[in-house]
Structures are given as structure tokens and as C-alpha cells.
Amino acid sequence: MTAQIIDGKAFAAGLRARVAALVPAFHAATGRTPGLAVVLVGEDPASTVYVRSKGKATREVGMESLEHRLPDTTTQGELIALVEQLNDDPTVDGILVQLPLPAHLDAQEVLLRIDPDKDVDGFHPINAGRLATGVSGFVPCTPWGCVMLLEDRLGDLSGLDAVVIGRSNIVGKPMAALLTARNATVTLCHSRTRNLPHYLRHADIVVAAIGRSRFVQGDWLKPGATVIDVGMNREDGRLTGDVDFDGAASVAGAITPVPGGVGPMTIACLLRNTLVAAHRREGVPLDERSI
């Protein structure tokens, strides 16, 4: 068996195109374009690249990119003041504070100050609570993208056995909640799980987000399983996932590559969330299922 490659790059391009197609109608209804504010503190190389990519993608779909670059000497008070200014700015629909922040800043306190209705990253506890209880809110972009890829590949997820490896607030926990909401039977595993292969051998869906290069082995998988690899690790100068791709591809039915799988979906879902936030804030109707 050779697994089908799940092309996240192509799917993300389609999602960005659907977002771009809806921006002109929003502009016609409101006289403005949706605005995404991104805050970068310091000059972390990876964060700088991410912010540049997000800005480029935002502009490409016709939305406004509002970048705020602050020195690494920025104080907690100064950063919170900027977030509150963006909360009050009617031209800003989404606020993203790029993580990680410099060590002297309290990221959790900063994220708590973001207006939950502008929290397009989906990290605010109010949005986490909305997800857990089935109330409409904003979902973290990476797990949301994973679900889109899974439903595109498998259709209805009801009754499927799913294993999520990793319990972070950014990926693992929201991923488990999203799969549960779609009636999958979900097991949430992590670094302390005993006999992890036992759980994977029964899983129709595996989402690996544990942050360990090529950790999940092919012979742990159920033949024909769909594998979503969220990992982004650097090994010998190249990107690797959390799954041993070659071994897994000989067993799985479908698998995301690294790079080119989940990564492109994250930015595409950020643009989607920003568009949705703009429509909700302005009271402009939008069929959110269409995107």
C-alpha cells in the first residue's frame, strides 16, 4: 500500500480563493475591507518570517494587513495598551499577537486582553470554552485546518476512531474537541501515555502534534488510517514532521507531507477567521459553511 498524499497546499489555495471572492461584497456593504492586526515583539527570526507570510497572504486576498512591530524592550504595560487600542479600533477585525514573546513578557496575560470577538487565533479562554460547549466562536487555525483536510478526505467523521497525540491548548485539546463535535470517538494521548502504539493500531484517524521529529512509526498504525502530521521540526537542516513519513506512507491510506500539508492551512484558516469576524462585527450576513 502507498498512501495518498493529502495536498494541504492545494486545499489552502482554494480556501484563500474563496475568502478573496467574498471580500468585495463585504467592502460594498460596509465601505471598508476586513482588517487583520498582527503584533510582533522583538526580532525572533522564525516569528519575523511568519509575520511577513501572514501579511503577504492577507493583502493577496484583498484584506488590510496592519502590522505593529515593537522592540524587544517593550514592557508588559505598553504591549497591553496596544492590544486595548486595537480592541477599540473599528477598522480592526482580527488581532494576532505573534508567539513566542520575549521572556520578560507574560503571554497569557496579553492573550487574555484580546477581545474574544477579534481573537482570530482562537486562543482566548472564552473561545476555548465556546468550542468545548458547542457555542459559535473562533477555533485555533491549525486544528481547524486539520479538520477541513480530514472532512475533504473522509467526508462524515461520525463513528470513526481518532487518536490525537499532544495535548497543547493550540492544537491537541481543540483538535480533540473538534473531532468530538463531529461524532468521532476520540482518544487524547501525550508524552506520558503508556503503550502509545496500542491506541494507534485501532485508529482510523491519527493527528500527530507532539513536537518530536519522526516519532510515530509506520508499524504503529492501522492499515488504511488517515494521518495528519502537524509536526514542524528541524533535523539536519530540513523540516520533518512528527511521523516517520516513509514508514507511515507504506501503511496509511492517506497522509499529509511536511512541508506542504498542515502548514499552509494555518494561514488560510487565519484569513477565513478574519473574514468571519468582520462579517459578525458588522452584522453582514455570511454563509460560513461556504468557506
Residues 6+ away with beta carbon under 8 Å from 14: none
Quick one: cell of 232? Answer: 514542524
Catalytic residue among 93, 98, 118, 242: 98
Q: Is 98 a catalytic residue?
A: yes
Catalytic residue among 93, 119, 121, 244: 121
Q: Is 54 a catalytic residue?
A: yes
Closest Cα partner for 262 from 90, 144, 92, 89?
Answer: 144
Report CA-CA distances (Å) from 116 to 125, 143, 190, 197, 198: 8, 18, 28, 38, 39
Which runs of consecutive H residues, i.e. helices, occur in 31-171? 45-60, 76-88, 107-113, 125-133, 141-154
Q: Is 93 a catalytic residue?
A: no
CB-based contact 150:161 (threshold 8 Å)? no
Pairing between strand 64-70 and 233-235?
unpaired
Closest Cα partner for 173 from 135, 237, 24, 181?
Answer: 181
40 by Cβ neighbours in 10 Å (0-12 / 13-18 / 19+) ranks as: buried
Q: Which residues are catalytic?
A: 54, 98, 121
